[in-house]
């Protein structure tokens, strides 16, 4: 992720005046092309889906976050061929999207729930990704 994020930061000045949707598309494609393993394509897809969801958005408000996260989660699931409960980053992202979909989401609740879900996955039987392959080969 470091290499991909560094490439994003290096391009931010050039992207400064882009519409939000194009900025997210650029961040996503940069992550995909500069980050190795599954992380680049998964996080990159999430950002590209945010860009798609925010096509006509000038600033991100509650409804924009909800629609953006729903699209990002959908993209991660499709790209990773996974679903919530498989012990992947989708477990955290889908939980955050569900909380955002509540009538009045609270950022502290999102932060706490995401951290809890992340630590909960430590005991989850991983069904996808490198950890799954490592467990099979042990």
Instruction: Give me the pLDDT at residue 135, please.
Output: 44
pLDDT single digits (tens) 90-112: 888 888 888 777 766 566 777 78
- Tell which wins on pLDDT, 94 or 27: 27
The pLDDT, as a whole number, for residue 131 is 54
Nearest to 79 by CA among 56, 102, 112, 46: 46
| Domain edges within the chain | 2-125
Are the beta carbons of 35 and 16 closer than 8 angstroms? no
* pLDDT tier, 130 (very low <50, low <70, confident <90, very high otherwise): low
Reported as a single tens digit per residue, the pLDDT across 34-61 is 998 888 999 999 999 999 999 988 888 8
Residue 137 has pLDDT above 60, yes or no: no
Quick check: 71 pLDDT over 90?
A: yes
The closest of 40, 60, 36 to 48, measured between CA atoms, is 40
pLDDT in tens, 15-24: 999 999 999 9
Confidence (pTM): 0.73
Closest CA to 76 of 62, 92, 57: 92
- Give residue 136's pLDDT: 42
The per-residue pLDDT for 122 is: 75
Q: Which two tokens stand for residue 25?
A: 């598309």
Superfamily (CATH H level) for 2-125:
DhaL domain (1.25.40.340)
Res 124 pLDDT > 90? no
């Amino acid at each position: 992720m470091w290499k991909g994020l560094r490439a994003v930061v290096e391009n931010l000045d050039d992207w400064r005046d882009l519409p939000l949707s194009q900025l997210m598309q650029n961040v996503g494609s940069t992550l995909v092309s500069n980050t190795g393993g599954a992380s680049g394509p998964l996080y990159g897809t999430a950002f590209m889906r945010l860009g798609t969801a925010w096509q006509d958005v000038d600033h991100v408000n509650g409804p924009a976050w909800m629609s953006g996260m729903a699209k990002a989660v959908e993209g991660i699931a499709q790209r990773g061929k996974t679903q919530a409960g498989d012990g992947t980053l989708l477990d955290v992202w889908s939980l955050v999207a569900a909380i955002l979909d509540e009538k009045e989401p609270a950022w502290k609740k999102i932060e706490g729930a995401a951290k809890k879900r992340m630590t909960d996955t430590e005991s989850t039987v991983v069904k996808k990704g490198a950890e799954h392959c490592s467990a099979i080969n042990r």
